[in-house]
Structure 1
Amino acid sequence: MTSVDRQTIRILHVVGGMNRGGVETWLMHVLRNIDRDRFQMDFAVHTEKPCPYDDEVRALGSKIIPCLDPAKPWLYNRNFKRILREYGPYDIVHSHVHHFSGYVLWLAKQAGIAVRIAQSHNDTSSVQAKAGWYRRVYLALTEWWVDRYATVGLGVSYKAAASLFGSAWSTNPRRQILYYGIDLTPFQSPVNSVAIRTELGLPADAFAIGHVGRFIEQKNHVFLLEIVAEVAKREPRMRLLLIGDGSLRPEIEQKVIQLGLTDRIIFAGLRPDVPHLMLGAMDVFLLPSLHEGLPLVLLEAQAAGLPCIFSDVITEEVDIVKPLVRRISLSRSASDWAEAVLSARGDTSAITQSDALGVLEKSSFSIEMSVKELTKVYQANFPSC
């Protein structure tokens, strides 16, 4: 039976796991808001471990399907094609695993999937430039596969698109930008700041710096701690709220002890209520990342009306609410960053939260706009659905 007969387009998304990262959170926004009668989304994941979004994915009628052994291509080949046979037929394979998408879409082509989408969510060009010869061979091969087997290429920003599709990507009609969209509803209701801060152990009068991100090298947590150590010298009421988890968390916890900041840092772990924490517990948002595609957390921070201090390597498309954003070079000292953070705290007249939210609502970064553009991509190949 064809997808036109079914009047439903079946999409298999390929992700590492449905964790609370930017990619996965955007996919959850999409799943919650897309017409699930017309678009059936399942998720092939590279883990058997339970992930935070798994239960909600299933509750919304989608499947979580482990596809293991990505580091062993011959086994992954067998596992992936078995999934297509057992859970299909799928009309679209939509891969979100950056360069590995090349291999995924090659396998999808072999299995007869006509529509194969590679989506780039990150700008890894600075990391690729330092790769050794073995990694360079892998990158060259997977980029060739992406170019050959991706019938559609999507980038969440211009930098993210160039990172996977090459600097001339915009001349290829099969490549385009698809911005993240966020659900702005949680930012429309007032929150009880006193209750939120009490729950987190934040003093009511604390100057709270917020950060949301996995504990991985990309997020630059060591430099983040150096910045807040400088802020602490100038502002004794400073607290840092770290939301997230990851492999480097133990190392960062040790660094906190070394810097004598144990009573100033709150490790909040993974949280499902990031918008409420931004609205009720943070005064400034800090993101000194080494690289990003289009950080969803910066969209959320602006929707919350927070002054945002972040590295100038981050793509400029994220500068939506201009009065709230300030870029700083990573070559500047931690002391310079600290001064920027303290200056942002004092600028209370920049823009109100409600006005900042209004700017986001009219932008390309609402979930309604994002879902609309994504469904256009899907329907372009199935005009009768």
Structure 2
Amino acid sequence: MTEKRMKILHVLTDRNIGGAGRWLLYYLKYHNREKFAVQVVLPHDSLLVAAVQALDVPVLAMEEMEDKSFDRKAFKALAKIFRAERPDIVHTHASMTARMAARRARVPYIFNTKHCMEGAPGGLAKKILRREINAVFSDKIIAVSKAVRRSMIAGGTKPQEIAVVYNGIERIPIPSAEEKAALLSSFGGKAGEKAVGMVARLEEVKDHETFLLGAKRLLEKRKDVRFYIVGDGSLRKQLEQKAAALGIREHVTFTGFLQDVEKIEAALDIAVITSKAEALCLSILESMIAGIPAVGTDSGGVAEVIRHGENGFLIPVGDSDALAERLDELLADDAKRSAFGAQAKRDAEATFLAEQMTRKIEKLYLEAGK
């Protein structure tokens, strides 16, 4: 007799493919189809719709859903879906409305993945409110790093409600020297240049200004470096103007959004993240699994990825001088850069593969169903 599959509904409100979307796609690619029947609820115009369907996973597309956590008008539609589908678990990604609707529809178990750092703890009243909301509308919260878990506990969430499961990634093909040169050349790279890049949304929390200031400082010492700012966002024009004002615009490439971002992540000599707050940082992990060392700010979960002095360097948040110094140290020493890169690849493969993440998530699902 065939064992009944556990029915899981994932809910995302994202219209673009960000960190939560990539988490979902990795999970869907590796989930156990014999034990779990998975569907995904998305806005009808989300870029994730086609990506999920390409993995042969059903999508429940909603006209009513907005790209925000609390969406009053989506509540009834979500509750109707949950009553009709009768899932064993609704697994949300930031959608407070979906958690509320799942509770109203009497879904047996509600999961929520916390993909970002919790906001400032606030006063006692705010902590109590956050604790009660999480307790009422989530049976299990998955934090993508220990730092996220700590921030949630500081904000009032009960520790026993939170499980840490690191984000998972896939191995990235490592380009040959010729492939690397051709790719970087397509973005303005020149022969003999070293490639230092940052893959992140062009938003305030990522602190690209520190990246540009560090670039200026490094270029005062050596000119054989090109800096790649990969991604898009509301600050693009402002950052382009900042690069020009610093006199380094000719050494900085803004690639915009790239669909196959892993190719440039694997073509860098050093990967950088300068975030003021970071849950884990998938882009750094993806470069590391391709054997690229990293320099990142000691913010949130970055220290769980970059091991200072072993696979990269940690620097204080906002310290452009420290960024320039560490980049110079790695660029000046090919042997150290290579050794750090090799260790980065080993570390990423040991802890951050998508298959590992998926098995841990499914173990939590099965425990909930007992």
Question: How far apart in 2 are the matches of 1:141 and 1:264?
Answer: 49
Confirm whether residue 207 of structure 1 aligns to residue 205 of structure 2. Answer: no
Change (3 A) 1:178 1:283: same
- Judge conservation of contact 1:124–1:163 (CA < 8 Å) in 2: yes
Match of residue 288 from structure 1? 274
Match of residue 236 from structure 1? 223
Change (3 A) 1:355 1:197: same
SS in 1 for 2:75: helix
SS in 2 for 1:234: coil
- Judge conservation of contact 1:243–1:271 (CA < 8 Å) in 2: yes
Gaps of 5+ in 2: none
User: Aligned-pair distance for 1:352?
Assistant: 6.7
Confirm whether residue 25 of structure 1 aligns to residue 11 of structure 2. Answer: no
Match of residue 137 from structure 2? 149
Alignment map for 1:316-355 (pairs within 5 Å) = 316-319=303-306, 323-330=310-317, 332=319, 334-350=320-336, 351=339, 353=341
Larger mean CA deviation between 12-21 and 364-373 belongs to: 12-21
1:116-141 C-alpha deviation (Å, 9 max, x unpaired): 0122122234xx25x7x9xx988764
Question: How far apart in 1 are the matches of 2:237 and 2:44?
Answer: 23
Match of residue 158 from structure 1? 146
User: Aligned-pair distance for 1:94?
Assistant: 1.0
Question: How far apart in 2 are the matches of 1:267 and 1:10?
Answer: 43
Match of residue 49 from structure 2? 54
Question: How far apart in 2 are the matches of 1:344 and 1:290?
Answer: 23
1:113 is aligned, of 104, 107, 112, to 107
The residue identity in structure 2 corresponding to 1:295 is C
User: Aligned-pair distance for 1:212?
Assistant: 0.6
Change (3 A) 1:138 1:94: farther
Confirm whether residue 77 of structure 1 aligns to residue 78 of structure 2. Answer: no
Confirm whether residue 358 of structure 1 aligns to residue 353 of structure 2. Answer: no
What is the CA RMSD across the aligned residues, in angstroms?
A: 2.9
Question: How far apart in 1 are the matches of 2:255 and 2:299?
Answer: 27
Match of residue 256 from structure 2? 269
Question: How far apart in 2 are the matches of 1:7 and 1:321?
Answer: 47
SS in 1 for 2:226: strand
- Judge conservation of contact 1:124–1:292 (CA < 8 Å) in 2: no
Larger mean CA deviation between 348-357 and 18-27 belongs to: 348-357
User: Aligned-pair distance for 1:360?
Assistant: 2.6
Identity among equivalent pairs (%): 23
Change (3 A) 1:331 1:71: closer
TM-score if structure 1 supplies the norm length? 0.83
User: Aligned-pair distance for 1:328?
Assistant: 0.9
Gaps of 5+ in 1: none
User: Aligned-pair distance for 1:57?
Assistant: 0.7
User: Aligned-pair distance for 1:23?
Assistant: 2.3
Match of residue 305 from structure 1? 291
- Judge conservation of contact 2:216–2:248 (CA < 8 Å) in 1: yes
| Number of residue pairs matched by the alignment | 363
TM-score if structure 2 supplies the norm length? 0.87
Change (3 A) 1:116 1:219: same
- Judge conservation of contact 1:187–1:357 (CA < 8 Å) in 2: no
User: Aligned-pair distance for 1:331?
Assistant: 5.1
User: Aligned-pair distance for 1:48?
Assistant: 4.8
Match of residue 65 from structure 1? 61
Larger mean CA deviation between 311-320 and 146-155 belongs to: 311-320
Question: How far apart in 1 are the matches of 2:81 and 2:257?
Answer: 30
